[in-house]
């Protein structure tokens, strides 16, 4: 039987790429139920036959492109770990920028009504509820599988009493409700986007990735429908593609939003766009 050192060396060669070391260690540490630091402290340890078989199976599936998050059934986001699966989009670090921008607009000591539309695994909704204990958070998704994961994650984090999960397509899920802040990381790839046949995206649910020919269909729906579901002064915050900032800002401005801006990520891509809804007084109103 091979020891830890030998297994990792062979795995790194099989996987290749810049993430091969990290992925090999992550998979083997999960198989052995030990932290990654343990692997470096015990390179001579010999896994059991069952553990070696499990590691081999995961390596084969990873080499074929299956995401590490789906193999492990979990993914870290913000300060916690979420259960994930093929029924939902894998949370990504870029979405933490959307979270940070939302938190910057949510007072710590004030109650607010917040909606996370298209919640997936519940990443945004749960982080908002955790960081702002007085917020009343609604999380929606069209996918029953994704919503089941969001509910399970809420229970695991002890937030099930403060995050209400509802099934439905965008604003159809919230009926006549109004919010102080709405966030969404919607699908924003076009139907022929080359990224769809690359990397992890090949295994993730297409409905969570693709939005019409230009990738803006869901973003248009979210922006045009927001005024009916935002209180005066309420914020709409949206994640989008790296090249979609100008288009999203244009849609927000056309819909009547004020304070429209896009925020850049660590790679200097415009990744999040925001707008504040200011209701215009109609003729005859007080």
Domain-embedded: residue 236: yes
Domain-embedded: residue 141: yes
Number of structural domains found in the chain: 2
Q: Check pLDDT > 60 for residue 275.
A: yes
Pairing between β-strand 257-264 and β-strand 80-83 as defined by DSSP bridges: unpaired
Q: Check pLDDT > 60 for residue 111.
A: yes
Note the residue count of the chain. Answer: 286
- Give residue 283's pLDDT band: very low, low, confident or very high (50, 70, 90): very low
Strands (E), 85-187: 113-117, 136-141, 163-167, 179-184
Q: Residue 214: exposed, middle, or buried by beta-carbon count in 10 A (0-12, 13-18, 19+)?
A: middle
In this structure, what token pair is assigned to residue 13? 């060669």
- Residues forming a β-bridge with 236: 182, 275
Q: What is the pLDDT of residues 172-190, one digit of tens each?
A: 999 889 999 999 999 999 9
Domain-embedded: residue 228: yes
Domain-embedded: residue 79: no
- High-pLDDT (> 70) share of the chain, %: 98
Is residue 215 located within the same domain as residue 161? yes
Q: What is the pLDDT of residues 114-171, one digit of tens each?
A: 999 999 999 999 999 999 999 999 999 999 999 999 999 999 999 999 999 999 999 9
- Give residue 285's pLDDT band: very low, low, confident or very high (50, 70, 90): very low
Domain-embedded: residue 100: yes
DSSP 180-231: EEEEE----B-TT-GGGGSGGGGTS-GGGTB-TTTS-HHHHHHHHHGGGGEE
Which range of residues forms the domain containing residue 13? 4-64
Domain-embedded: residue 178: yes
Mean pLDDT of all residues belonging to the chain: 94
- Can you tell me which residue has the tokens 């995961």? 58
Query: Phi and psi of 66, rounded to 5°?
Result: -65, 130
- The CATH number for 178's domain is 3.40.50.150
Q: Residue 196: exposed, middle, or buried by beta-carbon count in 10 A (0-12, 13-18, 19+)?
A: middle
Answer whether 208's CB lies under 8 Å from 89's CB. yes
Task: Give the dihedral sign, CA 227/230/234/240.
Answer: negative
pTM score over 0.85? yes
User: Residue 145: how many CB atoms within 10 A of its CB?
Assistant: 14
Is residue 135 located within the same domain as residue 44? no
Is residue 112 located within the same domain as residue 168? yes
User: Residue 240: how many CB atoms within 10 A of its CB?
Assistant: 26
Measured in whole angstroms, the distance separating CA 118 from the mean position of its chain's CA atoms is 9
Q: Rounded to an integer, what distance in angstroms lies between the CA atom of residue 219 and that of residue 239? A: 9
Domain-embedded: residue 80: no
């Amino acid at each position: 039987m091979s020891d830890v050192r030998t297994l990792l060396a062979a795995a790194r060669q099989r996987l290749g790429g810049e993430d091969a070391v990290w992925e090999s260690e992550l998979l083997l540490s999960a198989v052995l139920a030990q932290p990654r630091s343990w692997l470096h402290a015990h390179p001579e340890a010999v896994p059991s036959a069952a553990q070696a078989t499990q590691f081999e199976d995961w390596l084969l599936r990873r080499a074929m492109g299956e995401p590490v998050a789906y193999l492990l059934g979990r993914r870290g986001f913000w300060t916690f770990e979420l259960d994930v699966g093929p029924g939902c989009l894998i949370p990504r670090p870029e979405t933490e920028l959307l979270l940070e921008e939302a938190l910057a607009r949510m007072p710590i000591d004030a109650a607010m009504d917040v909606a996370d539309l298209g919640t997936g695994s519940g990443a945004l909704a749960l982080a908002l509820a955790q960081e702002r204990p007085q917020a009343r958070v609604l999380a929606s998704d069209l996918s029953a599988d994704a919503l089941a994961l969001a509910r399970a994650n809420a229970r695991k984090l002890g937030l099930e009493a403060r995050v209400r999960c509802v099934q439905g397509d965008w604003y159809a899920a919230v009926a006549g409700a109004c919010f102080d802040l709405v966030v969404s990381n919607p699908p924003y790839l076009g139907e022929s986007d080359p990224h769809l046949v690359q990397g992890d995206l090949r295994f993730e649910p297409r409905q969570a990735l693709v939005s019409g020919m230009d990738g803006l269909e869901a973003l248009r729906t979210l922006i045009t429908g927001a005024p009916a579901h935002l209180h005066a002064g309420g914020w709409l915050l949206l994640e989008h593609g790296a090249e979609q900032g100008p288009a999203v800002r244009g849609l927000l401005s056309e819909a009547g939003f004020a304070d429209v801006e896009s925020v850049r990520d660590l790679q200097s891509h415009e990744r999040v766009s925001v707008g504040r809804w200011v209701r215009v007084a109609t003729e005859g109103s007080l």
